[in-house]
Chain A
């Protein structure tokens, strides 16, 4: 076989200008927001959106890139949050060391789920993971056994239906006083940015290539040397680390964690955000979260029609943009590029 490398091809790696521009836009927005947004309520909603975007980006890594239809995403998020809170409550830890340990606990939990799902495909993964998530939720909610006394009140080991509260915070209240929310915003922004950066690195690396290959055609991927066992555990582990970490940050930000975050509606919001933004696209989950959160805010006054409105948006997105907003954007860019290339037959035509 000739090993004459083709320099024209090698030189033509498409530079990720689009991603770079998007990243700059996101960073600029994140920096500008605390200067522009004065309402504490709105800033709180932005923080919430950052949490949702982080969780959605990891669900997208699992489903959009690796094709694992897991419905345990909120369970893993909750696991990380609960682990962090319980470390603080039961062992008196400071929140900061509890955060990474909580994330690792979520990874272990997720790896066990991943092992259980190894021989399953498609919808069966969804069924098993949903069952695990629901079991976790019910175990916590129905826990009535007295584990310790707080004053005269009896508290369960899992916190029961009430959950845990006031186990510590980021330390921003002591540091920034009245401006503590901006401090929290900065911390959550860094978490979000860190997660996105690592996810980008994974998606663009050979690991990401293996994930996508397994999603497209598992049998063919294995026949080309991809290790399914390793790749599947890797995606469960990596996504759980960032999801669990986000869970811990969520608990620390609100100084509380309760079984509500494990509910189905939270999970469906994450999935809807990813669908609207574009499943399997790097920026989709963020864009989808922003769109749904803004729409939700805009419809705040409409009361019960709010849910209906969200439903309509999701339905419209699925019908009109099967690949989400980012997918539609990609179509437009591709079309424009073609038009441009046709008008000016340049370098690319000679190759």
Chain B
């Protein structure tokens, strides 16, 4: 996997970010950097604080302490709408959408309000807004469903639509929260191709996922969280080798499968060479 971007161009920085709910330290002093162009995968058991971390850095939940930057701009304390307009989009674990609206209207909202700040929402949808919305639908391959009501869509389409909504805000960075949760194997491949396509188009990606095959195949770097803290950071291949990750998260069975997966991949690459 050749990196197109120059090394060490840091796009996103988190410095000692915490979010406590009473005595529960959902996110406990997390520091991390995301480099431009990479796919950073975040794994870890349920309740590890992954989604809370996403909520904090995308402005939906205020941090208890800590600061974070997007490029050179500090975005700590900004509203979710402002962070979105700055170029950081996200998707949600639950299939969030505007259920009573059409597919097209869903992305139009994102394209109109999410691409840049507006003093006033305006009375007309501009041409640029429409084009951004159509391009986003085309990107995920949902153009033919543009006029369907979102309520009636199957789960894969809802996941794709959420990504289309993120794309329509013209982001430089996308946080994907469990993009393949609840999908079949074939559907997972569709989303995997799409995430690669996002990366190729120059968007930096941070993703949370429990489907290990997806997480480890896509990510250029992996972080494993537990009890609000980072317990592992490194290459995907190293994940099943780490004793603590195996104990707290993966378990013996999954570890063996993953090791076999990486061995097969190595053999494949050797055979190809």
Contacts and interface: CB of A to CB of B under 8 A. Distances in A.
Interface of A: 1-6, 9-10, 12, 14, 201, 205-207, 209-210, 212-213, 215-217, 219-228, 230-231, 234, 280, 351
A225 B123 contact: no
A212 B110 CA distance: 13
Given A206-B125, A217-B99, A225 B134 contact: no
Given A1-B139, A10-B130, A205-B124, A225 B81 contact: yes
A225 B167 contact: no
12 contacts: A6-B138, A206-B123, A206-B124, A207-B121, A209-B125, A210-B113, A217-B97, A222-B79, A222-B81, A223-B60, A225-B113, A234-B121
B19 interface: no
B58 to A, nearest CB: 6
Interface of B: 58, 60, 79-81, 84-85, 89-90, 92, 96-101, 104-105, 108-110, 112-115, 120-125, 130-131, 134-135, 137-139, 143-144, 146-147, 165, 167, 169, 201
Contacts of B121: 205-207, 210, 227, 230-231, 234
- Chain B CB within 10 Å, residue with most, of A3, A216, A230: A216
Given A217-B96, A220-B97, A225 B131 contact: no
A2 B135 contact: yes
A2 B90 contact: no
Given A207-B123, A224-B109, A224-B169, A212 B98 contact: yes
Nearest to A14: B147
A221 B84 contact: no
Given A5-B135, A216-B100, A224-B84, 18 more contacts: A1-B139, A5-B131, A9-B143, A10-B134, A205-B122, A206-B124, A210-B109, A213-B101, A216-B98, A217-B99, A220-B97, A221-B109, A222-B60, A223-B58, A223-B84, A223-B92, A225-B113, A226-B113
A228 B81 CA distance: 9
A216 B60 contact: no
A213 B134 contact: no
Contacts of A209: 105, 108-109, 112, 125
A348 B84 CA distance: 35
B166 to A, nearest CB: 8
Contacts of B134: 5-6, 9-10
Nearest to B131: A5
Given A5-B134, A6-B138, A212-B100, A224 B123 contact: no
Nearest to B116: A225
A236 to B, nearest CB: 15
User: Which applies to chain A's interface (DSSP): helix, strand, loop or mixed?
Assistant: helix
Contact of B114 (A225, A228, A234): A225
B175 to A, nearest CB: 10
Contacts of A5: 131, 134-135
Contacts of A212: 98, 100-101, 105
Contact of B131 (A3, A201, A219): A3
A3 B113 CA distance: 19
A228 B131 CA distance: 25
Given A220-B92, A224-B169, A213 B98 contact: yes
A221 B98 contact: yes
A205 B129 CA distance: 13
B107 to A, nearest CB: 9
B60 A219 contact: yes
A300 to B, nearest CB: 38
Given A201-B123, A206-B124, A216-B101, A1 B167 contact: yes
B201 A220 contact: no
B144 A351 contact: yes
B80 A223 contact: yes
A56 B131 CA distance: 36
A217 B108 CA distance: 15
A1 B166 CA distance: 13
Contacts of B79: 222, 227
Max chain A C-beta neighbours (<10 A), residue from B60, B80, B134, B146: B80
B100 A224 contact: no
Nearest to B90: A223
A18 to B, nearest CB: 15
A212 B121 CA distance: 13
A254 B46 CA distance: 64
A226 B60 contact: no
B105 A205 contact: no
A6 B100 contact: no
A9 B107 CA distance: 14
Contacts of A213: 98, 101, 109
